[in-house]
Amino acid sequence: MRWFPIVASCMALVTTAAQPARAGEDFDILKTRQSLFHDAIDSVVPYIVRIETIGGAQPRVVGETAPPEEEEDDGSPPPQPMPFQDNLGSQFMVADGPTAGIIFDADGWILTSSFNFVREPAHITIHLTDGRDYVAELVARDRVRKLALLKIDATGLQTPEWVPVSEIRVGMRTIALGRGFGGESPSATVGIVSALNRMDGNAVQTDAKLSPANYGGPLIDLRGRVLGICVPMAQRPGELAGVEFYDAGIGFAVTKDRVEEIVAELKEGVSFYRGWLGVSINTRAQNNCMIRAVADPSPVRELGIRPGDIIATANGHELRSIKNLRQAIYMVPAGEVVQLVIRHGDLESCYEVVLARNTELGALVQNEPPPIDPANPFIKPKKLPWKR
């Protein structure tokens, strides 16, 4: 029986001798993986610009007036005089410092996040990786999808390759790049694509940590192709909505198909704003979205929709509360159409409502507009003034 310890000792020697080789293999694998990240970052660095701004003030936080507690003599709450105010969506203090963008077009068009311009800066400088500096013009902003388009006097710029949306898959490795810390090398955080078609189909979701350090910068794959532009987003209005997800592993990037839908208008100086129906919802109603008051003027008042009517669906989404309504239309900008089903007693009517800007809405009133014609329950606006 003396052979057992001898065999065991030999096995231990073999195992020990194999360990250095295994460690070397693991290091080679790790080095190969790291080189993938390095190569991806290096390939896209020439297209990432550093944006520096001067001037501007911390924006004042405003918001919708909360429903008052007092009631009128008939037991109903009083109308709100002017609840239609754009809210920043966060108490986040927007600090000074460099931000990032990418070259979108060879003729000097730079795409970034509107978050970087909430302070309304007086002067914008673009620094290219080849050392050239340009004064930039803020051409237009999309306050809904949180994008901004800048223009510099340059031509012949190289642009990055974008990943076709059809190729984006959950689980793909992602790298979020930014220039929020200054310097010539971008900052980087790593993650995966954690969800598709988020924010009403406008963005992909990633668990790579996003923050003001990389808002406006690209989210790329391991081949250095752009998956989208990193922006703060949340299921409520406001240009700062979503900043509370700062480095939380919940981040969003707007994909190229959505960018291409709006970039032509952005180039023409057309900005996109949050869209409003122009109604106040009775928050005390149970399991429905009942209109408490209608603004005069407003898109819905033009169509005969009145206080007491119930918004049954919006863009195909069944509504049980004001939260459902906000989620259904929060990504629809002013000038776009929302399909509503309105319930008035036993009658349901279908409408296509063109959302308005807050500046185009009046004060809330509770006097009823002309009644709905039961003989014509399917109504479409022929011509309305609600444009961007």
14 phi and psi angles, rounded to 5 deg: -65, -45
**CATH number of the domain where residue 325 is located:** 2.30.42.10
- Last residue of one domain, picked from the residues 211, 240, 271: 271
The residues facing 132 across adjacent strands are none
- Last residue of one domain, picked from the residues 222, 253, 271: 271
Judge if 180 and 267 occupy the same domain.
yes
Judge if 142 and 260 occupy the same domain.
yes
Specify if 294 maps to a domain: yes
Is residue 217 within 8 Å of residue 176, measured between CB atoms?
yes
Specify if 253 maps to a domain: yes
Please give the Cα distance from 154 to 119 (Å, whole number).
26
Please tell me the predicted confidence (pLDDT) of residue 79: 46
Please give the Cα distance from 326 to 100 (Å, whole number).
30
Judge if 39 and 130 occupy the same domain.
yes
Please give the Cα distance from 27 to 38 (Å, whole number).
16
Specify if 138 maps to a domain: yes
Tens place of pLDDT for every residue, the chain, 388 residues?
444 444 444 444 444 444 555 666 677 777 777 889 999 999 999 999 999 998 776 666 554 443 333 344 445 555 444 567 666 666 666 767 789 999 999 999 999 999 889 888 899 999 999 999 999 999 999 999 999 999 999 999 999 999 999 999 999 999 999 988 877 789 999 999 999 999 989 999 999 999 988 999 999 999 999 999 999 998 777 777 888 888 889 999 999 999 999 999 999 999 999 899 999 998 888 899 999 999 989 999 888 899 999 999 999 999 999 889 988 998 899 999 999 999 988 889 999 999 999 889 988 887 554 454 554 444 444 434 443 3
Secondary structure in 3-state letters for 192-219? EEEEEEHHHHCEEEECCCCCCCCCCCEE
Read off the tokens for 324: 């459902």
Please tell me the predicted confidence (pLDDT) of residue 235: 77
Please tell me the predicted confidence (pLDDT) of residue 229: 97
Judge if 297 and 190 occupy the same domain.
no
Question: What's the total number of domains in the chain?
Answer: 2
Judge if 290 and 202 occupy the same domain.
no
Is residue 228 within 8 Å of residue 78, measured between CB atoms?
no
Judge if 131 and 205 occupy the same domain.
yes
Residue type, 146: K
Please tell me the predicted confidence (pLDDT) of residue 181: 81
Specify if 149 maps to a domain: yes
Specify if 174 maps to a domain: yes
Judge if 246 and 285 occupy the same domain.
no
The whole domain housing 195 covers 32-60+77-271
Query: Rounded to two decimals, what is the model's pTM?
Result: 0.80
Please tell me the predicted confidence (pLDDT) of residue 64: 42
**CATH number of the domain where residue 180 is located:** 2.40.10.120
Judge if 110 and 244 occupy the same domain.
yes
Judge if 308 and 339 occupy the same domain.
yes
Specify if 136 maps to a domain: yes
Judge if 82 and 131 occupy the same domain.
yes
Please tell me the predicted confidence (pLDDT) of residue 304: 87
Residue 276: exposure state from Cβ atoms within 10 A (0-12, 13-18, ≥19): buried
Judge if 246 and 354 occupy the same domain.
no
- Last residue of one domain, picked from the residues 216, 249, 271: 271
Please give the Cα distance from 243 to 281 (Å, whole number).
27
Is residue 234 within 8 Å of residue 87, measured between CB atoms?
no
Question: Which run of H or E residues covers position 365?
Answer: strand 363-365
Please give the Cα distance from 150 to 139 (Å, whole number).
5
Specify if 201 maps to a domain: yes
Specify if 148 maps to a domain: yes
CA dihedral 20, 26, 27, 31 (to 10 degrees): 160
Judge if 244 and 300 occupy the same domain.
no
Read off the tokens for 112: 């970034």
